[in-house]
Amino acid sequence: VQLQASGGGLVQAGGSLRLSCSPSGGTLSPHAIGWYRQAPGKQRELVAGISHGGSANYVDSVRGRFTISRDNAKNTVYLQMNSLRPEDTAVYYCAAGRLWSSFQRDYDYWGQGTLVTVSS
């Protein structure tokens, strides 16, 4: 499965963006999907994840602001990001794995990333 992350851009603090993760081949429905981000000079970190059954998980820093969802009919996983903050600025990646996991090593397929920039 090759993944394509899209939807990034420049937004002011307090604004919203919706990221999309779609495969260029294959289907996402059997996979758990994780959204990760990497800010300049920092390690890549988990943001949110969703199991193949639709159970969602979030890190504390985004809980209540971000929503992950999947539309199997459209073969797409979304990350709705509201109340964005400058510290959310990063390259966001989606990844697919067999089961939901908070560990990057458990994801077999990664997208190329999409840049989110939040201005203050």
Q: What is the pLDDT of residues 31-42, one digit of tens each?
A: 999 999 999 999
CA torsion sign for 54, 11, 84, 5 is positive
- What the block records as the tokens of 6 is 């899209």
For 65-87, the pLDDT digits (tens) are 999 999 999 999 999 999 999 99
Whole-angstrom Cα distance, residue 52 to residue 33?
A: 8
26, pLDDT greater than 90: no
Whole-angstrom Cα distance, residue 57 to residue 64?
A: 11
CA distance to 59, 69, 81, 86, 104, per residue, from 98 (Å):
20, 17, 25, 32, 12
Query: How buried is residue 74: exposed, middle or buried, by Cβ count under 10 Å (0-12/13-18/19+)?
Result: exposed
What are the residues facing 22 on neighbouring strands?
Answer: 4
Confidence (pLDDT) at 91: 98
CA torsion sign for 112, 36, 66, 88 is negative
